[in-house]
């Protein structure tokens, strides 16, 4: 089926909509923490059964067994913002790696069973993670801080150790880390520029279809919506109707009160007219003091009743300050003989008839 067209909504009428991406990320984090906890427990059991454990490994496993359920609870009950959860995971991983590195390099009696090769394979993953949890500049600062931490930990060892194997391995770790952080920073900056370009394009698209004063769909957007409804009518026989609205004696308002008051009237009318519409209806500014309402799947009688109710609703109370404004409406519904031009022409003719018959009223158009 055709997609419903997107129509600009005034900022005051927008309602917050939950972003599905956050729920998907929350579910993914919960799954990761549960699987991480299960994997940690199983690995601990296997190592203990083989007699390959040590106090340091037990401490690392114990920290993970506690950390995973704790963070799962934070995510499940939303006790912390997502960014803090991400940052906590990053700092926890960096802290575990740093502690293992210290024990292995300087306290072999405790960290002798820690293999540097697997440990050094995990450290670059931390930098990748850092560039996913923070902004472009923040992620660089965070990564450089973590890299500096590992470098400072290993520096005394590099200066005084006689183990050529571990020295070379540690130097390679820092070299690879520096290249990786530089590459991640480059790609992060490229992604940021792409996002800015996309945002600018989206904003331009919205502005091209939005009336600057009232923030309603403009004439171009209304024409697109009518074209879409015509296509639905031709394919599926789903009718629709138009209401053309004109403010009565609007020129007098501008002459007596000034154009600023006239602009306030236009914006106030846009807000009040929306109060009478369905969710699927489209209200737009046609130009000057004229507005158009597109009513999907509405017949002529329904549209005429809505137009008359709108006239009453607008005239019931002052629109701005103590100024009471009335409107006139012309109503037309689609027929097989209509084009977009003929439909607008018939609605405009009906609007002219309403003006001639005294204003503050709605009139329907003759069939095409």
Q: So which residues are the catalytic ones?
A: 289
Is residue 152 classed as helix, strand or coil in its secondary structure? helix
**164 is written with which tokens?**
């050529």
User: Shortest CA distance to 306 belongs to which of 211, 241, 226, 247?
Assistant: 241
Alpha carbon 83 to its chain centroid, in Å, reads 16
Compute the distance between CA of residue 266 and CA of residue 284 in angstroms, rounded to an integer: 11
d(CA 51, CA 58): 12
Question: Minimal CA–CA distance to 94: which of 65, 72, 125, 63?
Answer: 125
Whether the CB-CB separation of 120 and 101 falls below 8 Å is answered with no
Residue 19 CB: number of other CB atoms within 10 A?
9
Q: What is d(CA 360, CA 337) in angstroms, rounded to the nearest whole number?
A: 30
Burial label, 285 (beta-carbon count in 10 A; 0-12, 13-18, 19+): buried
Q: How far apart are the C-alpha atoms of 290 and 29, rounded to whole Å?
A: 52
What are the CA-CA distances from residue 360 to residues 91, 303, 324 (Å)? 68, 16, 11
Contact status, residue 272 vs residue 313, Cβ threshold 8 Å: yes
Contacts of 79 (CB under 8 A, 6+ apart): 73
Place of tokens 């927008």: 14
Residues in the chain: 368
Separation CA 192–CA 196 (nearest Å): 6
Identify the three-state secondary structure at position 315. helix
């Amino acid at each position: 089926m055709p997609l419903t067209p997107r129509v600009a909504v005034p900022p005051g009428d927008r309602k917050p909509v939950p972003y599905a991406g956050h729920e998907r990320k929350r579910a993914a984090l919960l799954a990761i923490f549960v699987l991480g906890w299960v994997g940690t427990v199983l690995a601990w059991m296997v190592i203990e059964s083989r007699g390959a454990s040590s106090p340091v490994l037990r401490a690392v496993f114990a920290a993970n067994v506690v950390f995973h359920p704790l963070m799962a609870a934070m995510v499940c009950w939303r006790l912390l913002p997502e960014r803090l959860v991400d940052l906590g995971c990053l700092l926890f991983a960096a802290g575990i790696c740093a502690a293992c590195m210290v024990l292995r390099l300087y306290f072999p009696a405790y960290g002798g069973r820690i293999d540097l090769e697997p440990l050094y394979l995990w450290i670059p993953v931390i930098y990748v993670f850092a560039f996913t949890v923070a902004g472009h500049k923040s992620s660089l600062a965070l990564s450089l801080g973590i890299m500096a931490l590992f470098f400072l930990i290993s520096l005394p060892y590099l200066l005084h150790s006689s183990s050529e194997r571990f020295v070379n391995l540690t130097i390679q770790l820092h070299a690879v880390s520096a290249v990786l952080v530089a590459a991640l920073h480059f790609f992060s900056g490229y992604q940021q520029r792409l996002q800015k370009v996309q945002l600018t394009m989206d904003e331009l698209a919205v502005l091209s279809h939005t009336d600057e004063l009232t923030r309603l769909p403009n004439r171009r957007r209304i024409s697109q919506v009518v074209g879409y409804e015509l296509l639905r009518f031709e394919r599926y026989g789903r009718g629709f109707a138009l209401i053309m609205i004109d403010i009565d004696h609007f020129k007098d308002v501008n002459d007596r009160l000034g154009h600023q008051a006239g602009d306030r009237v236009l914006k106030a009318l846009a807000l009040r007219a929306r109060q009478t519409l369905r969710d699927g209806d489209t209200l737009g500014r046609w130009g000057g003091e004229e507005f158009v309402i597109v009513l999907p799947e509405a017949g002529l009688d329904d549209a005429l009743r809505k137009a008359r109710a709108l006239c009453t609703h607008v005239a019931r109370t002052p629109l701005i300050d103590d100024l009471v404004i009335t409107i006139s409406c012309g109503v037309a519904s689609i027929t097989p003989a209509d084009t977009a031009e003929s439909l607008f022409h018939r609605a405009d003719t009906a609007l002219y008839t309403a003006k001639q018959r005294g204003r503050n009223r709605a009139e329907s158009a003759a069939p095409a």
